[in-house]
Chains A and B, each alone.
Chain A
């Protein structure tokens, strides 16, 4: 039962990403070609709401649902892994038009072909695990 709230948050996420068409290959293509403001508007608004929300959480010293202080861990310092990893992800995003969230959402929506993207993504994650210690971070 404790998982219900996570399923509901996921449900909202899946509906919003589908109805906003952020899961659409076309929207991602259009974004990278600067032919519409739509995707930039979505990401920009989400970050705007996120920055204000997190600042309010911190300043009001809001406790989380279990009464624990809210702490968001800082990302590890670094440069190479973020730029190169980000670039490789961007190449995939531009090609198949799906970041990890939409892969799951689209399969749920009945686009079985995206199952192949999921298999690729699992293989890619596994490959990273195998090569991790040999890569510059």
Chain B
């Protein structure tokens, strides 16, 4: 059972993620998680101030059901499909050393560093600002690009869409810039 409780191999995970996309296509829908952010803005009343949010959000209820399932999935995975005795998030030792120099704690089975998400950490204005600005970039960028990892990298590339390839190249330019240049400055 260690294989099941530990880190699922990339080929199993990739196969299942591809299958999720195909299942949604079979259901007559398109896999895309960032669209839900727009739907939620509409539900919260954003249509009063911007046309972009005036659309029939009820047609997107199926996608909100996917979100609900995904949240339940996250809960089930950490609660029932994990075992503290089975090592997870085994990183390259170089990565761990690099992170320690930026005051980021080693994973030791955690998915997210305490330095960025523990109850103590999020009381620091700096960490709050990191999470909020990071979220802002994710929300703004995905809507500007018309999709995220699921809509462009998985669905778009699978459907051989050039715009999606451009977007994915953009994702990587942004991610490399952040991870190599800005992040060390921010976390110093």
* Residues of chain A having any CB pair with chain B under 8 Å: 3, 5-33, 35-51, 53-54, 57, 62, 64-66, 68, 70, 72-79, 81-101, 103-114, 116-130, 132, 135
Contacts and interface: CB of A to CB of B under 8 A. Distances in A.
A122 B122 CA distance: 19
Given A72-B30, A118-B135, A81 B144 contact: yes
B177 A90 contact: yes
Query: Chain A's interface: helix, strand, loop or mixed, by majority?
Result: helix
B134 interface: yes
Contacts of A91: 137, 141, 174-175, 177-178, 182
Nearest to A83: B170
A120 B133 contact: yes
B139 A128 contact: yes
Contact of A35 (B11, B94, B111, B158): B94
Interface string B144-188: 111111101111111111111011111111111111101100100
Contacts of A129: 38, 41, 46, 50-53, 143
A116 to B, nearest CB: 4
A45 B28 contact: no
Contacts of A44: 14
Contacts of B154: 43, 46-47, 50
B169 to A, nearest CB: 7
Nearest to A50: B158
B132 A21 contact: no
Contact of A21 (B41, B111, B182): B111
